[in-house]
Structure 1
Amino acid sequence: MKRNFFLGIFIVLFFGLTGCSVDINISTDDKKPDVIDNGNTQEEEDQKQYENNAFKEVSVSKSNGNVIVKGKARVFEGVFQYAVISGTEILQENHYQTEGAPAWGSFEITIDKELLTKEKVSIELFVYSAKDGSKTDILTIPLK
């Protein structure tokens, strides 16, 4: 009787401790992009950098009224898509070819100033999934 009692306690403790040591990792695509802010002043606001798993060191600057988005991408066959959007309206959509993964390929995209006349304009950098065609690794960056 005592033996069964101690065996039962041992089993409960063993499975309890084993269950507590299981590492649960939940991943979602709804994560906001990481923004690296170096505590810059308002003049240096354009020096913010954005990143996620597929894009890094992405920054936004202005030149002659146009917006320039620069960064690095690590994407399959070096191809990713981008869309300039205002709310739900797509103002421009295109793709970019850079160096393929596993390397980080540099990119530079120039957004015409004519597209910046709308409200809340942003750019989405993303990859189409080879599995189902859905957008993955979406990095949304406000342009104005």
Structure 2
Amino acid sequence: MKKKFLLGIFMVLFIGLTACSLDINISTGDKKPDVIDNENNQEEEENKQYENESFKEVKVSKSNGKITVEGKARVFEGVFQYAVISGTEILLENHYQTDGAPAWGNFEITIDKELMTKEDVSIELFVYSAKDGSKTDILTIPIK
């Protein structure tokens, strides 16, 4: 009996240490998007990349009165939604079609800077759940 108990404790410790050493995220709660800064912290916002399980290599650039959001998405049937939000107000909501999962499909969304005149504007990329219609895999990108 003691051997089984000690073996059980050993297995729990081994799995826990392995997960930590491999940097595996075993939590099931909501995650904030990963922000990847390809250079040092003093680089411009345009060098930042955002990602989560459904979106990767997402970058924001600004030019000629437009804001461009581009990256890759791996979503069911290649369809995802995006919204421009200021606080709780939705300024724009639309959808985008790209390659369907399991492939990573490229996307490029262009938005007029006129929508960005309010404070605390962000862009959300997300998928509506087929199960209950809720937003899932939300990637929130602040626009400054």
Q: State TM-score, norm by structure 1.
A: 0.84
Where 2:56 maps in the other structure, the secondary structure is strand
2: CA distance, partners of 1:65 / 1:43: 22
The offset of 1:133, in angstroms, is 1.1
Where 1:13 maps in the other structure, the secondary structure is helix
Contact 1:85 1:124 in 2 (8 A): yes
Q: Number of aligned pairs?
A: 136
The question of 1:27 aligning with 2:25 is answered no
2: CA distance, partners of 1:82 / 1:15: 46
Aligned position for 2:62:
62
The offset of 1:66, in angstroms, is 1.5
Structure 1 pair 10/129, CA: closer, same or farther in 2 (3 Å)? same
**Where does the alignment leave 5 or more consecutive residues of structure 2 unmatched?**
20-25
Name the amino acid aligned to 1:93: E
RMSD after superposition: 2.1
The offset of 1:59, in angstroms, is 0.3
Bigger CA drift: 11-20 or 99-108?
Answer: 11-20
The offset of 1:82, in angstroms, is 0.5
2: CA distance, partners of 1:22 / 1:107: 38
Q: State TM-score, norm by structure 2.
A: 0.84
Name the amino acid aligned to 1:13: L
The one-character-per-residue Cα deviations of 1:54-89 (angstroms, maximum 9, x if unpaired) are 001100001112111011101000000001000111
Structure 1 pair 15/68, CA: closer, same or farther in 2 (3 Å)? closer
Larger Rg over CA atoms: 1
Alignment of 1:1-144 (within 5 A): 8-21=1-14, 25-28=26-29, 30-40=30-40, 44-144=44-144
Contact 1:67 1:143 in 2 (8 A): no
List structure 1 runs of 4+ shifted beyond 4 angstroms: 18-24, 40-43
Contact 2:80 2:95 in 1 (8 A): yes
Contact 2:39 2:47 in 1 (8 A): no
The offset of 1:22, in angstroms, is 5.8
